[in-house]
Chain A
């Protein structure tokens, strides 16, 4: 799918492995990950806790540079963060001493003139926080803080936006609202999106493809294309069918499926 005209590979990951040193031994977090993401694609990554989703995202973000195999962005090996790759973390990670406006402007460098710039105003508007420019993070609700974090990641106009369970801490209603918002932003910005989630519904609602990861060691179990037109109806037959297919896929890997199925 993706946006019209854009079919170049933005991310190319081949044979990626990552292990961590843990008290003398080594723990394999990722093993033989292969994934190609075209520019403008929306990819959902889903998997149970501890399967290496965050690690994969952190490698793409350039926050983990000590990995084996290939991870390339626009044909170049990733070995550090870059402004073309924006990150939204699971917690909003806003700077508590800056206002919403200053937080959003953070990536543009210091200085007052930046925080008054057009791009800042535009992105605050894009995430629906107009009127809260002067508020400090502690004055925002969880959803508003997460939206401010999204605006901060977008203000440099990254080509790829990496989202690590950005709505994990939100209630179901706010979450649905935020998902709609992310789709709107994706259309407006045309960025490539890689979203990590543990919510099957969210993965299917948002993604062009759903990457299912399995646990210990973290590998990609399957990649399921979601060929449904947007806006997607969560209640439609195709949607629920796909969701239960993924659900089944998910739990086939576990030893005791029915312990989870209740």
Chain B
């Protein structure tokens, strides 16, 4: 009995010693949580840079990050870049505002009146099944090649996610909360203002965010199809002149401004919803 115990103790000690002997220095270096997401992009950029510098990646096909940065700086010095950014931002923002406003009004009305919903919603749902790009020729015909056709396309893209999310937010309001409103004798208007709209807010904000994402997608499409200014134009220009670095610089700018505008919305939403304990 005691013998067995001794043996197992000896084995244990031996194992500990072995572990001590062979233990590797800890490989985990600590990266602050907030920047852990940056590790992979940085690694990719470094590898990419190395591959481009050594000529493994052809420069005209995939220029090095340093070349892209240089191109960005060059464009900035040329003075035209800020103009392109401004034009694209203005298109996205105005298309977003128009689309979101229309969606909010229509979603609000169809959400609060069953009659309007029965009349309007089937048509809107049918329109939704049209691929948005199919509108382009019609918009060009109606509105010409200038700003309005582009803004209209963006607005159409923004409209549907906002409309659908607002409507479903309104329609899925907890019946139990509506009953509380009834118990306190709220009339129809008060019920909408004090219960339905606040309850539908999270879903509405989700709609706004995905609408904004689509807005950015559609501005690229609109600008590629015909524009003389804007980031999309810059991309096409890069393609025409065979400068991949200009195309990649534009892509980086789209990503940057798309993320920035989304961040603005996210912050606003957090401000509105954080208090409810809803993660957004």
Chain A interface residues (CB < 8 Å from chain B)? 61-63, 81-83, 85-87, 89, 91, 93, 95-97, 106-107, 110, 136, 138-139, 156
Contact = CB atoms under 8 A, between A and B. Distances in A.
B184 A97 contact: no
Interface of B: 176-177, 179-180, 182-185, 190, 193-195, 198-199, 201, 275-278
A87 B276 CA distance: 24
A93 B177 contact: yes
Contact of A81 (B176, B185, B195, B201): B185
Given A95-B195, A97-B201, A138 B276 contact: yes
A89 B185 CA distance: 16
A139 B277 contact: yes
A222 to B, nearest CB: 30
A85 B184 CA distance: 9
B276 A91 contact: no
B184 A96 contact: no
A86 B182 CA distance: 11
B182 A97 contact: no
Pick from A63, A83, A93, A95 the residue with the most CB of B within 10 Å. A95
A107 B275 CA distance: 21
21 contacts: A81-B182, A81-B185, A85-B183, A87-B183, A89-B176, A89-B180, A91-B176, A93-B180, A95-B180, A95-B198, A95-B199, A96-B277, A96-B278, A97-B275, A106-B184, A106-B194, A136-B275, A138-B276, A138-B277, A139-B277, A156-B184
A63 to B, nearest CB: 6
A107 B182 CA distance: 10
Contact of A82 (B176, B177, B185, B193): B185
A136 B176 contact: no
B185 A63 contact: no
Contacts of A61: 183
Contacts of B184: 81, 83, 106-107, 156
A82 B185 CA distance: 7
A95 B195 CA distance: 8
Given A61-B183, A63-B179, A91-B176, 5 more contacts: A83-B184, A85-B183, A86-B183, A97-B201, A136-B277
A96 B176 contact: no
Contact of B183 (A81, A91, A110, A138): A81
Contacts of A87: 183
A168 to B, nearest CB: 15
